[in-house]
Amino acid sequence: MDYRKIQLTGESTYIISLPKKWVERNELDRGDVLAIVDRGDDLVLKVKEEKETESTISIEKKSLELVSRMLITKYIQGFDTVTITSKDYIPLEIKKGLKDISALLIGMEEFGETSNEIVFRMLMREKGNVEDTVLRMHRMSLSSLKELLDNISEGDYNEHVLQSIIQRDNEIDKFYFLVLRQLSSLSSYDAVMWGNVAKKIERLSDHIENIARLVTEGGRIREEHIKEYRKLIEMYSSVSFALKNKSLKKAEEILEVVKDFRIKEKRMADSIKKTEPKTLLAYESLKRIGEYTSDIAEVAINMI
């Protein structure tokens, strides 16, 4: 980390010097124009014309899983164009698999192909604000949680709604990858904390999906327990307020509610017969939703 002292020139103009290495790396000179983005406690400097970055991945002797991971990594690192190449040809199953993976990467689209090459290009030029993206993730997962707890009655459930929840988890994963891409160009403390929140939302959402899947496979939540578990909605909804407003009071309130929830949750889980594995797993995921909500409230406190 580098530090610069603010200086005053004239009567009302504040100036600060730029690190020489950063200026040289971006090929800047006297008279060039920089864009300044105001992000509350942070000011982000951008060169007026952002240079496109490119990367090439050779698939020689690599599995689809490995190449897919490499494509995701290049996306997260902030590359604008990623070219997949092969000396001979790219098998059709690998091309199809990579196109499926690119569907999880917001803004990254297929941009042409040949028998031995496929190009993916980032068509969304503005990376956006990481805080806005994380809060959008939260809204989507909160919606899934509400729908889940409205549709897991012991006697009946709406399979169409549960399948919709399962599919929505893919959308939440998309925004998580976008958050990681946005973080690749940021280094502030708050940015790191928002990344931490995004990871916990992604994990929490996995448990929402898991419960929906378990219920469709025979897992059941007792009717008398659903009312108690619905308190998760209010707890999880409240963390958004604590994060946006950096509210210590609200974050501490959430932690207290979670403490009480843990006690009641353990009693409910202990009452389930050990011969109901899918039900036990569903109860465990409900418990984890409460734990991740508590974790996010802890992060909110750390951001104050």
Q: Compute mean pLDDT per 10 residues along the chain, 304 residues long, and list them.
A: 76 80 78 70 69 88 91 94 93 93 94 94 80 96 95 79 94 96 86 95 98 92 90 95 94 95 92 84 96 96 91
- pLDDT score for 285: 97
Do residues 213 and 287 make contact, with C-beta atoms less than 8 angstroms apart?
no
Among 140, 138, 141, 162, residue whose Cα is nearest residue 150: 162
CA-based torsion, 284, 176, 37, 1: positive or negative: positive
Beta bridge partners of 175: none
| Adjacent-strand bridge partners of 81 | 54, 121
Cα angle 51, 130, 2 (rounded to 5 degrees) comes to 65
Q: Which residues pair with 42 in a beta bridge?
A: 39
Strand (E) or helix (H) holding 9: strand 7-9
Q: How far apart are the first and last CA of the chain?
A: 21
Q: What are phi and psi of 221, to 5 degrees?
A: -105, 130
What's residue 230's pLDDT? Answer: 93
State whether residue 122 is helix, strand or coil.
Answer: strand
Residue 115: Cβ within 10 Å count: 10
State the pLDDT at residue 220: 86
Beta carbons within 8 Å of 234's beta carbon, 6+ residues apart:
257
Number of neighbours of residue 260 by Cβ within 10 angstroms: 10
Contact 297, 256 (CB under 8 A): no
Name the 3-class secondary structure at 161: helix
